[in-house]
A and B are shown apart, each in its own frame.
Chain A
Amino acid sequence: KAGVTQTPRYLIKTRGQQVTLSCSPISGHRSVSWYQQTPGQGLQFLFEYFSETQRNKGNFPGRFSGRQFSNSRSEMNVSTLELGDSALYLCASSLGVPVSDTEAFFGQGTRLTVV
């Protein structure tokens, strides 16, 4: 079956702009989580959506937001981009139930560069 698909793969934006990233989970998976990966901080959890509701949230400013649609596809948005937002943004999908007992499958990520 098809894996987790993230688009676009690469993106270059200017400081102050906003960006929207997309994630299509594995068919049948209802949970989508987003992560930011940087060389300095490693892999950090942004938020998780399950059945169109945010179920968990990490410690990121309000400029980072997300949503999930009825078909489980998810988008994340970063507003007022800063240079420090340059990172690999990863999406992971899982069945979602029970909450922490299902394997997460990651996409290839979106490489965002802010200049």
Chain B
Amino acid sequence: TQLLEQSPQFLSIQEGENLTVYCNSSSVFSSLQWYRQEPGEGPVLLVTVVTGGEVKKLKRLTFQFGDARKDSSLHITAAQPGDTGLYLCAGERPSGGSYIPTFGRGTSLIVHP
């Protein structure tokens, strides 16, 4: 069972469309992070959300952290081909008295020109 469930798994859209991807959990997280990974590259951090209900904007990307800090969403307005990539959410889960990073399986986004 995945601690962080992402949906949808795949998304193929046309340039200019809007989209939302989700990251859900039954556990509370102190913070969640969103990464984008392009083919042949490692993930790159986009944002970290910390406060329940927080909304952060990064140009055409809007990130929201749920009030209960169990879920997060990423909304992209007017998607462009350069937005193509694998979007990953990540948090930390308790393990053996410490916390270790855990990732969702990602949403693979393709934006067609």
Seen from chain A, the residues whose Cβ lies within 8 Å of a Cβ on chain B are 4, 33, 35, 41-45, 48, 55-59, 90, 92, 99-100, 103-109
Question: Number of B residues contacting the other chain (C-beta, 8 Å)?
Answer: 22
Number of A-B contacts (CB under 8 A): 51
Which residues of B come within 8 Å of A, CB atoms?
Answer: 2, 40-45, 48, 88, 90, 92, 95-96, 98-106
When the two chains form their complex, are residues B44 and A106 in contact, meaning their CB atoms are under 8 A apart?
Answer: yes
Q: Which residue of B lies closest to A92 (CB)?
A: B42
Whether A44 pairs with B103 at a CB distance below 8 angstroms is yes
A43-B88, A100-B92 known; A108 and B104 CB under 8 Å?
no
9 residue pairs bridging A and B, Cβ less than 8 Å apart: A4-B42, A45-B100, A48-B100, A56-B95, A56-B99, A100-B92, A104-B45, A107-B42, A108-B41
Q: Which chain A residues border B102 with CB–CB below 8 Å?
A: 45
Closest to A99 in B: B99
A57 — which chain B residues lie within 8 A by C-beta? 96, 100
Question: In the complex the two chains form, is B105's CB within 8 Å of A42's CB?
Answer: yes
- List residues of chain A with CB within 8 A of the CB of B105: 41-42
Q: Among A42, A48, A100, point to the contact of B106 (Cβ < 8 A).
A: A42
**When the two chains form their complex, are residues B103 and A100 in contact, meaning their CB atoms are under 8 A apart?**
no
Contact check, B43 vs A58: say whether CB atoms are below 8 A apart: no
Residues A106 and B42 in contact in the complex (CB < 8 Å), given A43-B88, A56-B98, A100-B99: yes
Which residues on B sit within 8 Å (CB–CB) of A108? 40-42
- Which residues of A are found within 8 Å of B43, using beta-carbon distances? 43, 90, 106
Q: Given A42-B106, A43-B88, A100-B92: A90 and B100 within 8 A (CB)?
A: no
Shortest Cβ gap from A2 to chain B (Å): 14
Chain B residues whose CB sits within 8 angstroms of the CB of A4 once the complex forms: 42
Q: Which 10 A-B pairs have the closest CB atoms?
A: A106-B42, A42-B105, A43-B103, A45-B101, A56-B100, A106-B43, A45-B100, A90-B42, A107-B42, A103-B45
Report the minimal beta-carbon distance from A54 to chain B, rounded to whole angstroms: 11
A42 to B90, CA, bound (A): 11
